[in-house]
Structure 1
Amino acid sequence: MQFDDDARLDSGQVRDERGSGPARGGGLGGGFGGGFGLPGGRGGLIGLILTLIAAVVGVPLALTDGSGGTSNALSSSSSGDVSGTVSSGSLAAKCRTGADANVSDDCRVVAIVNSVQNYWTGFFAADNQKYPRAQTVIFSGATRTGCGTATSAVGPFYCPADRTVYLDLGFWQELKTKFGARGGPFAQAYVLAHEYGHHVQNLTGALGQSQSSQQGANSGAVRVELQADCYAGLWAHYATTTKDAYGRVLIKDLTKQDISDGLDAAAAVGDDRIQAQYQHRVTPETWTHGSAAQRQKWFLTGYQTGDFRSCDTFSGSV
């Protein structure tokens, strides 16, 4: 994956909170809108693994608004469009162009977030709708969110209560060492695009279709996660034509190897792969994300068709 050296980055879409720690106390609220779990970590789910080991034996899933209520689409937050409202000084200073994204993990996150959100902005605008941009927060250790206090062990996740994606960049290494993925820049892009898929679901109302008591291969939780994978593939289909605010394409090249790395990452976080590794048996009745094959299938569905309608994971079998 190669960024155009001259593309302009908008660092205001990403906030760097590393080293600051959570602003105040409070337990994990269980209101996370979906994401990736780490072995032994805790975090809220609709498909996100609460505790990876516990999740594979059947911990209930929950989607709340951070105050105990159920979150549903736009009603989960009244914050509106947060684009550009907070900017990390350090990111603004060092992440200015695509050339910076080609050599820096931090700036790569900024560039990917810009590309994903610019795609969805255009998609919604084509239907005469406004896309309220979500913030991405880079943190380390622990952070306070609208869904409760989370640690790095949660893995990347989206909180619908504050419309924010949270990410510890240490996850890129975890993806390789704990999940066995090859990693690489596009594997990182897949993860971020998946989380922004949950933001889109929050806007459309699909996120609320994952009920707190549901688990299993055909559950609402799995269908929500697979749709987010499809949305990640949909963005990838258009990634090399999505432009910055000045009309220059952000990502000028995606190779077959890039897509392969994305598919490899999708398979690595399949429920069957994780269960086989950590509980040494596969129990589909407790799935919350979908199998490796399902996750690859739905990413490819979005990528190959480029059609939003093809990402309907709520009709028929998955």
Structure 2
Amino acid sequence: MTFNENANVGGSKARRRGAGIAVAGGGVAGLGVVVVLLLNLLTGGDLSGLLGDGTQVQTGGGSDEGAVEGCRTGADANRDDTCRLAATSTMLDEYWGTYIKGYQDAGLVIVDGSTPTPCGTASNATGPFYCPGDATVYIDPAFFSVLHQQFGATSGNLAQMYVLAHEYGHHVQDITGIMQKYPNNGTGPASNGVRTELQADCFAGAWVQDAAGQKDAAGVAYIKEPTQAQIDDALNAAASVGDDHIQKEATGRVNPESWTHGSSAQRVRWFTAGYRDGVNACDTFSVAGGDL
């Protein structure tokens, strides 16, 4: 989606934190590292063991660098990934505040390399995630440049906003008790873990459906209506993070019993359900396993 250039997107509580990343080891210009980082970022898991040949990914400690600056208008958000994420976080908090009584804003930390969190280290090697321990989303914008520059994958504005909206979906699940009601019960295509992830996809789609109606304090719409190309871009992002797609890319095989996030088809289907029918369509826990 594209922000209206004169929209006021300032006031985000997002903060920057972290240290840079260094890559050591041989190989052809670190290509193996880039591949593994991509897989890590897409899955939220550490696949550095796939590197082999003594190649290592090293990250420094985290340090709080303060608030995100230079993010005041929609034009800023259109120009800069970090600002876009910060502006989107404001929209997501406002959106969920209309649905949830007593809603509490999620935290957002823009990671540069690595930083400690109550849920472990957030880094280039773990990718975007939500940490219930401090109700905060951690995300490194390098995720998007790796997708785009190294692989030519679509990673446009709406795809980036979808990734963040998915993580905010986990915040909603956390503060409303959904996570506690449906705890992790293992892996597999119908597991609670997969249902949790698919519901977060559906919540993201529901927000996208309504986002163009959100306005700043002066009554200016934050964003323009998404185009079909932008929706397709978000669907491409959803498909690219399917467990089956990641497994096939990483190992050449697909093992549904080890799934934790859902297949590409499932993730596209539930994003679409939210986009088409809204939040009320997102009860993934009442659906029979074969219909997920």
Shorter-normalised TM range: 0.7 to 0.9
Deviations 1:211-262 (A, max 9, x none): 4451000001100000000000000010100122443211123111110000
1:136 to 72, 86, 108: 108
1:103 to 79, 92, 102: 79
2:285 — aligned with what?
314
2:32 — aligned with what?
none
RMSD of aligned residue pairs (Cα, Å): 2.6
1:304 — aligned with what?
276
Deviations 1:45-64 (A, max 9, x none): xx96433488xxxxxxxxxx
Summarize the alignment of residues 79-228 of structure 1 with structure 2, pairs less than 5 Å apart.
88-89=66-67, 91-92=68-69, 94-124=70-100, 129-176=101-148, 181-209=153-181, 211-228=183-200
Check conservation: 1:39, 1:51, Cα contact below 8 A: no
2:246 — aligned with what?
274
Deviations 1:163-214 (A, max 9, x none): 0000111000233467874111111011000000000000111123554451
The residue matched to 2:224 in structure 1 has which SS? strand
Distance 2:277 2:137 in 1: 26
User: 2:219 is matched by which residue type in structure 1?
Assistant: G
The residue matched to 2:137 in structure 1 has which SS? strand
Distance 1:164 1:174 in 2: 23
The residue matched to 2:98 in structure 1 has which SS? helix
Check conservation: 2:185, 2:192, Cα contact below 8 A: no
Distance 2:250 2:47 in 1: 8
Deviations 1:53-111 (A, max 9, x none): 88xxxxxxxxxxxxxxxxxxxxxxxxxxxxxxx9945x33x111112112122211122
Distance 1:98 1:180 in 2: 26
User: 2:284 is matched by which residue type in structure 1?
Assistant: T
After superposition, the Cα gap between the structure-2 partners of 1:232 and 1:40, relative to the gap in structure 1 and judged at 3 Å, is closer
The 4+ residue runs of structure 1 with deviation greater than 6 A are 177-180
Distance 1:114 1:179 in 2: 30
User: 1:6 is matched by which residue type in structure 2?
Assistant: N
Check conservation: 2:184, 2:192, Cα contact below 8 A: no
Distance 2:254 2:181 in 1: 25
Q: Kindly, what percent of the aligned residue pairs are identical?
A: 46
2:10 — aligned with what?
10
After superposition, the Cα gap between the structure-2 partners of 1:130 and 1:291, relative to the gap in structure 1 and judged at 3 Å, is same
User: 2:2 is matched by which residue type in structure 1?
Assistant: Q
Normalization by structure 1: what TM-score?
A: 0.75
- Structure 2, unpaired ranges of 5+: 22-35, 50-63
Distance 1:284 1:165 in 2: 27
Check conservation: 2:45, 2:125, Cα contact below 8 A: no
1:50 to 45, 51, 68: 45
Aligned length: 262
Distance 1:237 1:217 in 2: 26
User: 2:7 is matched by which residue type in structure 1?
Assistant: A
- Between 185-194 and 99-108, report the one with greater CA deviation: 99-108
Check conservation: 1:182, 1:264, Cα contact below 8 A: yes
Distance 2:78 2:184 in 1: 40
Normalization by structure 2: what TM-score?
A: 0.82
1:31 — aligned with what?
none
The residue matched to 1:196 in structure 2 has which SS? helix
1:260 — aligned with what?
232
- Between 172-181 and 207-216, report the one with greater CA deviation: 172-181
